[in-house]
Amino acid sequence: MARYDHLATLRHHLRRGAELTPGDVADLLDLDERQARRVVRDLDAAGPPLRVRTEGRRKFYGVAPEDLALLDTAEPLTEGEAFAVYMAVATARPAFASSPLADVLDAAVAKLVPPDGTLLFEPDDARFAAIGPGAQAVDPGVFAALRRAVQGALTVTMAYTNARGRRRDDYRCDPYGIVVAGGSWQLVGRDHTRDAVVRYALPDVEAVRVGEPFGGPPSGFDLEAVVRETLGGYSGGEVETVRLEVTAGAAASFRRKAYHPTQVTELTRDDGTAVVSFEVALTPDLTAFVRAFGPAVRVVVPDTLAQDVAQSARATAALYGG
């Protein structure tokens, strides 16, 4: 039985108001009396302080009635427990969005995501960061494989569905880190085909094969800074409401991944198409973002953005015209 189990068992019996001799403790924990006394000392040091009563040559250990509640102090969560709790709380967040409990739930999430932005179960590892709660479910096997790849700096090959709804089994990536940003769990890494640092939505990853070492992220790579810069990319001017009509395939991507903190799915139709809105500045980056979806996304408002996207598309088409 591990030390934690010894302490937990002893706490359980003392919580009921029992008084135990060293021999009782030894029998309870299947230890000799010398080891039992060591466990008693450990518990006394961890608190609450034990009360010792002597009767003849015998000692009895107990806890004062006013201190019994202190025996309920929880041990720190294990890594797996912390991740499970985090995922459960984050996944439940949308159901609480319009209820009086929303702020309470956010406070609970904040206790698992400290101000430095690093998940509680990875306190010293800059390759795992959190910027707000993640609301999408992630396959535990996928997460475990990617986490192992990030920690070991190992290339991965993934079955992945991109933002246009196209699925491939051969996405190769050097994984630099895992984040939860803008409401979605994401993998950040260098895509081999594009030779660029990109973000993959973890809910869209169906399978992972871990491969050979790649040497790790570039020197000075700042995972959280890259993600924050991406999320703030559509800023710098007057904020307007941008409303997009998206196909069913693209709508699935928008549901699984938040491309900006202000993203809202306003309407989902029976055929799977949807209307998505943002509160952002009209920048060239935003035009490029819409263009990246091709015919899967159409700008509803504002007209100026629709014209910019159309003009950019015509200029591209002219390069290939007769």
**3-class state of residue 295 by DSSP:** helix
Q: Say whether 29 sits in a helix, a strand or coil.
A: helix
Distances (CA, A) of 53 to 6, 32, 66, 73: 22, 21, 17, 24
**What is the distance between the alpha carbons of residues 149 and 172, in angstroms, rounded to a whole number?**
12
Spatial contact of 186 and 227, defined as CB atoms under 8 Å apart: yes
- pLDDT of res. 26: 80
Q: How far apart are CA 33 and CA 51, in angstroms?
A: 18
- In degrees, rounded to 5, the angle at the alpha carbon of residue 182 between the alpha carbons of residues 180 and 290 is 125
Looking at residue 1, its pLDDT comes to 42
pLDDT < 50: residue spans in the chain: 1-4, 114-135, 231
pLDDT single digits (tens) 274-286? 999 988 878 877 8
Quote the pLDDT of residue 246.
93
Going by C-alpha positions, the residue among 92, 115, 112, 117 that lies closest to residue 102 is 92
Q: What is the pLDDT of residue 62?
A: 77
DSSP state of 20: B
Instruction: Note the pLDDT of residue 154.
Output: 94
What is the C-alpha separation between 158 and 139, in angstroms, rounded?
Answer: 13
DSSP 76: P
DSSP annotation of 50: P
- pLDDT tens, position by position, 220-273: 887 766 665 554 555 555 678 899 999 988 888 787 777 777 788 888 899 989
Put simply, whether the predicted model's pTM sits higher than 0.85 gets the answer no
- CB pairs under 8 A, 24+ apart, for 304-309? 305/242, 308/282
> Given this model, what pLDDT does residue 312 score?
86
Question: What is the rounded distance in angstroms from the CA atom of residue 292 to the CA atom of residue 305?
Answer: 14
* Of 249, 239, 250, residue with least CA distance to 290: 250
Residue 159's DSSP bridge partners are 207
What Cα–Cα distance (Å) separates residue 270 from each residue in 95, 258, 273, 294, 304?
21, 22, 7, 22, 29
